[in-house]
Amino acid sequence: MPEHLILIHGAWAGAWVWERLLAPLRAAGFQPHAVDLPGNGHGPRGELDAGLDDYENSVLETLAALPGRVGLVAHSGGGVTATRVAERAPQRIAGVAYVAGMMLPSGMGFAELTAPLKTADPDAAGIVPHLQWDAERRASRVPPEAARAIFFQDLPDAVAEQAARRLTAQPEKARAAAPRWSTERFGRVRRLYVEALRDRSVVPAAQRRMQALVPGARVVSLDTGHAPQVSAPDDLAANLTDFFASSRP
């Protein structure tokens, strides 16, 4: 079992989104490292107009400072960064856990993946119809009321409101990026997919489409909305522990 886990947040969020998961992971014997990706309003590079390369390099810097093989846990859009890091340094990665995450085929963005789903179900568009854009459409924000309804609908009102207010502007060139990976590198890394069955952002149909297009991941399901690390941290930690403690695919 890897001692260290790097936790990679999704779009509009920050390291704070993992706060409720840290204690259960530590109790299970892990040392979790929740990173703030550049360009998301947090940390020394919070205002950078960041792209996927910036995200990737930021996580690789954290990885380089840790000993041994390390597990990656990626939520939502953080999955794209995790895929790229696993492609760059597969020998250092003990496994990747996608938490309602974007486990995308090589060269395919999330918009392309969900396009056929939106024809059948407009709700597959998730948060996108609700976004507020800057004048140049270089960054977007999520209105708090949309965040509560799409991201945090299964949380108590006060918790959902607090989380919604903590979301920040998201650079579009990072959010819209498509990963590129090879079967020889990323394809050899063990993967877990944690389904969020009541997700209104990365809807279950999108989660299942990714599993079909990028086969080979172990799959577990949680009866939560988009952020099980907030709404069901103990259940999520138990599934992560089982995956990282096991040698099975």
Looking at residue 45, what is its pLDDT? 67
Looking at residue 46, what is its pLDDT? 60
Q: What confidence tens digit (pLDDT) does each residue in 189-224 have?
A: 999 999 999 999 999 999 999 999 999 999 999 999
What contacts 136, CB < 8 A, 6 or more positions away? none
Q: Give which of 94, 86, 75 is closest to 37, Cα–Cα.
A: 75
Secondary structure (3-state) at 133: strand
Structural domains for the chain: 4-245 (3.40.50.1820)
Global confidence as pTM: 0.96
Rg (alpha carbons) of the chain, rounded to whole number: 16
Looking at residue 40, what is its pLDDT? 79
Looking at residue 81, what is its pLDDT? 98
Dihedrals phi, psi of 172, to nearest 5 degrees = -70, -35
Looking at residue 49, what is its pLDDT? 79
Q: What is the pLDDT along the chain (249 residues), one digit of tens a residue?
A: 999 999 999 999 999 999 999 999 999 999 999 999 998 777 666 666 789 999 999 999 999 999 999 999 999 999 999 999 999 999 999 999 999 999 999 999 999 999 999 999 999 999 999 999 999 898 999 999 999 999 999 999 999 999 999 999 999 988 989 999 999 999 999 999 999 999 999 999 999 999 999 999 999 999 999 999 999 999 999 999 999 998 666
Q: Give which of 122, 45, 52, 114 is closest to 87, Cα–Cα.
A: 52
Q: Give which of 117, 137, 138, 133 is closest to 199, Cα–Cα.
A: 117
Q: Which residue in this structure is represented by tokens 């890091």?
A: 85
